[in-house]
Amino acid sequence: MLLMGHPNVGKSVVFNRLTGANVTVSNYPGTTVNYTKGYMKINKEDVELIDVPGTFSLEPKDMAEEVATKMLHENNDAVVICVIDASKVERGLYLALQIIEEKFPVVIALNMWDFAKDKNIQTDVDKLQQILGVPVVPTIAISGEGIKELVSKLEDARTVDVERIINNVGGLT
Ligand SMILES: Nc1nc2c(ncn2[C@@H]2O[C@H](COP(=O)(O)OP(=O)(O)OP(=O)(O)O)[C@@H](O)[C@H]2O)c(=O)[nH]1
Ligand SMILES: [Mg+2]
């Protein structure tokens, strides 16, 4: 399982909430880019979770983004938890849609929900979920709010046809 998203959206705080103490930091071969790996319990099973370096897209602009893109492509059976800054949902969706388009099962965490709320930015989570066809969960990683729900939605992660998402958007207008 992979945790992905833009830089600075709270991926590592989410990662710490999901994994136990047994984490390892590794250097991606041939680079100075580090990533962290840990394990989380799902239905009493230990599942590997990787805190992938932040990236804005799958068209890498620097070494960290290149590593992030490679890690995704090296784990082509992974479920991806896509962490999006709840105050910048539209921007964050670009990466999520790219990952969905590559047929990875995705769950979206709208993190920093508290911060977005303070800024009076609110997302209609049900509508977004309907349009995308993947689970969308508001989270506040620093307090742990929403993390349990995020875990419970992991088994609902599914691959979606992007054509369908486009049709769903069309159906709104
Ligand atoms: N208000 C608020 N702050 C948060 C939340 N989650 C994380 N943060 C803060 O946001 C900052 C970035 O969090 P990180 O977990 O380091 O973000 P990241 O996505 O791992 O960042 P990179 O690894 O640099 O890409 C830290 O100061 C966190 O304490 C949240 O839900 N609400
Ligand atoms: Mg991090």
* Atom of ligand 1 lying closest to residue 140 CA: 31
Mean pLDDT over 107-129 rounds to 97
* Positions of E strands within the chain: 2-5, 24-27, 34-42, 45-51, 80-85, 106-111, 136-138
Taking only the tens place, the pLDDT of each residue in 13-71 is 999 999 988 899 999 999 999 999 999 998 889 999 999 999 999 999 999 999 999 99
More confident residue, 102 or 167: 102
What is the number of structural domains in the chain? 1
Those residues whose beta carbon sits under 5 angstroms from the ion ligand 2 are: 11-12
* Ligand that comes closest to the CA of residue 64: 1
Range of the domain at 153: 2-170
- CA-CA distance, 63 to 66, in Å (whole number)? 5
CA of 169 to the centre of ligand 2 (A): 32
More confident residue, 22 or 132: 132
Indicate which CATH number applies to the domain containing 125.
3.40.50.300
Taking only the tens place, the pLDDT of each residue in 67-83 is 999 999 999 999 999 99
